[in-house]
C-alpha cells in the first residue's frame, strides 16, 4: 500500500517529502556546502572538479551545471537548499522562483506586482489554470531526456513491476527481541574476555539466541536504542529519531571506535516508516548522519557474535531517555503500534524484527549507584509478555524508584512490544527464549525473544 500523498496532483508543485529527501540528499548537501565563502570560491573556479567531490548522480551534476531549478527539484533538490546555489550566482529568490515558471524575469515580476498568481484553476491537475502547462525545461534538460529516452522506456517497465502494490507481498514483523546493552559486554567481546568466569554465565544465556538468529534471520532489524550523549549532546535533544542513511559507522565514545563492522541501513524502508509514522502523528527526527554507540552495537554482538559483516540491515531508532521529560510508556507502546502499521504497509515481502534495548535495573550515578531489583525486573518481563498494555501505564517514577535512574531505558522495550501482532488483535506471541542475569558491570541483564504466530 503506497503512502498517503494527497499532494501529488497539485499542479507545478513538488512536495519535499522523505522520498524526495532521500533522492536529493547529496545534491542538497552540496548546496549547503556553498554557505562557506571558500567553497563558493572553489566551486566558481572549477565547477566540474568541485561537483566531483559530492556523491551525486550524473543527472544531478548536469542539472546543477545547467542551473535548471525544475530539473534539480525533479532529482530531489529542495528550494531552500538550492537557493544557496542561486545565491552563489547572485540571484534573488524572486529570480529563482521566476526561472521555474517559463516566464521572463520581467513577466514574473509584473505578475507579482499585479497581485501574484491566482489559485483559481491551479489547485488540482487538469483544472486549466495558468500553472498547468508542461514544466519549463532548459535545453540541457531536454537534451538529457532525449539521450536517456531508450533507457527510460526500459526503466519505466522495470519500475512498474517493482512497485506494483503488494505484488510480491508486504513486509511483516516476525519477532521482537529485548536485550540490555551494557558497554562492558562490548569491551569483553572486543578484548577477548568472554571466556573469563565473570562473563561465562552471561554469554551462555545468549547461546540459544545466536542459534535462533541463524534460524530466523530477518532482512531488516528495526533497532530501538538510546544514543548516550554520542550524536546528540545538549545542543539538540530529539525525543524520537530514525536513522535513514545507507550506512552508520561505530562511534568513538571516548575509548576509540569499537572494532565492529559498520551498520548497513535500509534508507528506503526507513524513509517509508518515517513518513508513515509522522502521518500517524508521532514527531520523528530524521537523521541522515549518525554514528551508532554501544546502545546499538552491543545487542548486535550478543545476537550475532563477532562476524566480519552484520548479516542483515539495521534501521537505528533513537529514544531520548537521558534528559527529562522522556516519553511515557504509553506513548512508546502506541508508537510501536504505529511502527508496525508502517512496516506492514511496505510493498516488499521483507521479514522485519523489532528490538528493544537497554535496561534492566541499573543506576549509574550518585550514592544509590549499583541498585539492582531482580524481583521487579522479572515482574517487568512477566508483564511485558502477558499484559504490555497495562505495563505501559506505569509512570516514570516507578522505574526510577524501583529500577534505578537508568532503569528508565526499559520504556524503549514497550516500543518493540507494541509492534507485536497480538496488540493489533492477532495471536499472542510465542516466548522463544527468556534469560536474566546479574550483574554485567552495573546492570541486571534481561533478554527475551518473542515470535509472532502466523
**356 is an interface residue for ligand DHB by CB under 6 A:** no
- In sequence order, the β-bridge partners of residue 250 are 292
Question: What is the separation of C-alpha 156 from the centre of its chain, rounded to a whole number of angstroms?
Answer: 28
Cell 544557496 identifies what position?
A: 84
Smallest distance from the beta carbon of 286 to Fe ion, in angstroms? 23
Q: Which is nearer to ligand DHB, 171 or 360 (CB)?
A: 360
Binding partner selected for residue 194 from Fe ion, ligand DHB, none, CB under the kind-specific 5 to 8 Å limit: none
Within 18-115, residue ranges assigned H as helices are 18-33, 37-45, 47-52, 58-66, 69-74, 79-88, 93-99, 105-113
**442 is an interface residue for ligand DHB by CB under 6 A:** yes
Told to judge if 362 belongs to the known catalytic residues of this protein, a careful annotator would answer yes
Q: For the window 244-273, what string marks contact with ligand DHB as x by the rule CB under 6 A?
A: ------------------------------
Tell me how far CA of residue 343 lies from CA of 123, 231, 316, 415, in angstroms.
32, 26, 14, 13
Q: Is 253 left (phi over 0), alpha (psi -120 to 50) or beta?
A: alpha
Which among 266, 294, 318, 447 is annotated as catalytic? 294
Binding partner selected for residue 205 from ligand DHB, Fe ion, none, CB under the kind-specific 5 to 8 Å limit: none
**181 is an interface residue for ligand DHB by CB under 6 A:** yes
Of 34, 83, 84, the C-alpha closest to 54 is 34
Q: How many residues bind ligand DHB (CB under 6 A)?
A: 13
**Binds ligand DHB (CB under 6 A): choice among 77, 129, 358, 388:** 358
Residues near 85 by Cβ (< 8 Å), separated by ≥ 6? Answer: 31, 34, 64, 67
Site for ligand DHB in 370-409 (CB under 6 A): 406, 409
Binding partner selected for residue 318 from Fe ion, ligand DHB, none, CB under the kind-specific 5 to 8 Å limit: none
Residues near 390 by Cβ (< 8 Å), separated by ≥ 6? Answer: 383
Q: Which is nearer to ligand DHB, 316 or 358 (CB)?
A: 358
- What is the rounded distance in angstroms from the CA atom of residue 124 to the CA atom of residue 127? 6
CA angle (210 as vertex; 206, 211 as ends), nearest 5: 120
**Binds ligand DHB (CB under 6 A): choice among 8, 229, 237, 364:** 364
**Binds ligand DHB (CB under 6 A): choice among 174, 297, 443, 452:** 443
- In sequence order, the β-bridge partners of residue 447 are 179, 435
Q: For the window 409-428, what string marks contact with ligand DHB as x by the rule CB under 6 A?
A: x-------------------
**Binds ligand DHB (CB under 6 A): choice among 362, 417, 437, 447:** 362
Site for Fe ion in 351-380 (CB under 5 A): 358
For residue 16, what is the enclosing H or E element? none
**Torsion sign across C-alpha atoms 14, 15, 16, 22:** negative
**Torsion sign across C-alpha atoms 251, 255, 256, 258:** negative
Site for ligand DHB in 217-246 (CB under 6 A): 228
Told to judge if 294 belongs to the known catalytic residues of this protein, a careful annotator would answer yes
**184 is an interface residue for ligand DHB by CB under 6 A:** yes
Q: Which stretch binds ligand DHB (CB under 6 A): 196-204, 239-247, 325-333, 436-444?
A: 436-444
Backbone angles phi, psi at 183, to 5 degrees: -60, -35
Residues serving a catalytic function are 294, 362
Binding interface with ligand DHB (CB under 6 A): 181-184, 228, 358, 362, 364, 406, 409, 441-443
Residues that bind Fe ion (CB under 5 A): 358
Amino acid at each position: 500500500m503506497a503512502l498517503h500523498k494527497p499532494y501529488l496532483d497539485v499542479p507545478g508543485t513538488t512536495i519535499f517529502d522523505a522520498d524526495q529527501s532521500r533522492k536529493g540528499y547529496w545534491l542538497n548537501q552540496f548546496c549547503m556546502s556553498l554557505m562557506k565563502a571558500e567553497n563558493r570560491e572553489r566551486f566558481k573556479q572549477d565547477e566540474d572538479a568541485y561537483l566531483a567531490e559530492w556523491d551525486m548522480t550524473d543527472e544531478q551534476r548536469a542539472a546543477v551545471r545547467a542551473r535548471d531549478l525544475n530539473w534539480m527539484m525533479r532529482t530531489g533538490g529542495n528550494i531552500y537548499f538550492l537557493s544557496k546555489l542561486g545565491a552563489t550566482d547572485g540571484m534573488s529568490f524572486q529570480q529563482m522562483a521566476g526561472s521555474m515558471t517559463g516566464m521572463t524575469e520581467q513577466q514574473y515580476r509584473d505578475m507579482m506586482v499585479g497581485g501574484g498568481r491566482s489559485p483559481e484553476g491551479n489547485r488540482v491537475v487538469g483544472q486549466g489554470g495558468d500553472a498547468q502547462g508542461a514544466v519549463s525545461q532548459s535545453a540541457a534538460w531536454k537534451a538529457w531526456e532525449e539521450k536517456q529516452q531508450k533507457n527510460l522506456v526500459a526503466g519505466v517497465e522495470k519500475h512498474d513491476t517493482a512497485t506494483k502494490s503488494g505484488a510480491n507481498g508486504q513486509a511483516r514483523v516476525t519477532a521482537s527481541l529485548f536485550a540490555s546493552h551494557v558497554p562492558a559486554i562490548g569491551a569483553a567481546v572486543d578484548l577477548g574476555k568472554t571466556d573469563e568466569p565473570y562473563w561465562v554465565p552471561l554469554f551462555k544465556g545468549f547461546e540459544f539466541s545466536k542459534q535462533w538468529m541463524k534460524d530466523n534471520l530477518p532482512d531488516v532489524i528495526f533497532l530501538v536504542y538510546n544514543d548516550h550523549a554520542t550524536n546528540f549532546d545538549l545542543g539538540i535533544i530529539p525525543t524520537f529519531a530514525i536513522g535513514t542513511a545507507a550506512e552508520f559507522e561505530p562511534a568513538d565514545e571516548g575509548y576509540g571506535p569499537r572494532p565492529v563492522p559498520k551498520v548497513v541501513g535500509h534508507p528506503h524502508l526507513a524513509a517509508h516508516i518515517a513518513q508513515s509514522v509522522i502521518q500517524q502523528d508521532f514527531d520523528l527526527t530524521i537523521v541522515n548522519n549518525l554514528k551508532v554507540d554501544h546502545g546499538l552495537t552491543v545487542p548486535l554482538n550478543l545476537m550475532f557474535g563477532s562476524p566480519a559483516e552484520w548479516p542483515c540491515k539495521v534501521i537505528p531508532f533513537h529514544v531520548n531517555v537521558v534528559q527529562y521529560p522522556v516519553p511515557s510508556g504509553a506513548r512508546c507502546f502506541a508508537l510501536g503500534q504505529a511502527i508496525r502499521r508502517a512496516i506492514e504497509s511496505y510493498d516488499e515481502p521483507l521479514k522485519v524484527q523489532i528490538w528493544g534495548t537497554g535496561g534492566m535495573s541499573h543506576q549509574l550515578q550518585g550514592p544509590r549507584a549499583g541498585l539492582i531489583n531482580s524481583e521487579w525486573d522479572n515482574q517487568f518481563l512477566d508483564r511485558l509478555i502477558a499484559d504490555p498494555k497495562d505495563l505501559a501505564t506505569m509512570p516514570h517514577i516507578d522505574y526510577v524508584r524501583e529500577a534505578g535512574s537508568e532503569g528508565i531505558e526499559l520504556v524503549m522495550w514497550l516500543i518493540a512490544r507494541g509492534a507485536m501482532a497480538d496488540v493489533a488483535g492477532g495471536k499472542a506471541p510465542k516466548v522463544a527464549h527468556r534469560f536474566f542475569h546479574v550483574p554485567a558491570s552495573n546492570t541486571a541483564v534481561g533478554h527475551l525473544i518473542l515470535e509472532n504466530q502466523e
